[in-house]
Structure 1
């Protein structure tokens, strides 16, 4: 039995809309990765090969696109943490977490800027709490094993990745330059015959406030 023409047209429109949305999200992912969150909807439309009106018909604002991409990126980060927790050696697990996360951020300006806060976008309190909850066991296990420098806590991840962000921005000629400075940072995190750290880390409440207030 043939489908009524109106129903056929409606299904075609829904299919085309879904394809457009998927195409635009992929274009947005690539544009933000290369240009960061300062990229415009016009940049996304141009990269996708469509008019900017098509973008507005699919998404109310740039924020909506970023939040959609961010949720997917957060899921990926949390999965990376879980993978690190499966590593038996507590120190290797810490190193793996930092290396994988830094590598992803170095390759994706938008991801890095969203996690650290930039251009009016950043993690909300729910996401900050989830990051602390998921990453804490990694640090707790390393501390209990005696492989982390005394005084190092999970809240140190924010300032550490903020410092690495400066290296990512200097790395056009040497995309792997961040590895050098991450190695220096990791050396400072490892337990050994070291003096006490001069000031304590942020407590969890201050860390959440700093992360959600970053811009």
Structure 2
């Protein structure tokens, strides 16, 4: 058996290569290895990301990896979430990576880009659209001090690099469940708005429709077909 060390947030890079966030004293890095082969090796460290992480608050930042993932619809991209616990800001970065010789369990990273940032809240979600065009994240908007705890959906277009945002409402109205959901074909996006209703959107066509309702709290949205 292999001792992998102390870590969390495991995920797969491909059918044989696993990865996870490794943590030991002051060391935090993403390590990868092959099932049944050798010890996992570091492929990305916090130091690699520091040049891409702004410190807009002026405070001394304290970064840690939250999690990372890959999606088959966006090959060669590793999406990484990093939390600054000082400013409570979550940053999402895209990292180009390659998996090397599976017999040696090696992988390497390439270009790095900061995609989005938001005020962190514990119930935040991060996911890709089924077609791999949109990266979605929920968090607190940081551009309006008057409404610091309004949950906002950030939608980053991976083709153009443009990020849109949609205010979802008071986060304390949400009691769990999925805050947004894609139709199976990846065209339609449903987003809940707390006590007001929900939104149906086609991001690729800049279409949005508000659907009001009365009689209670919308705790989750989900598609049952395309």
Using the size of structure 1 for normalisation, the TM-score is 0.24
Answer with 1 or 2: which has the greater Rg: 1
The structure richer in strand per residue is 2
Instruction: Select the structure with the greater relative contact order (CA < 8 A; seq sep ≥ 6).
Output: 1
TM-score relative to the length of structure 2: 0.24
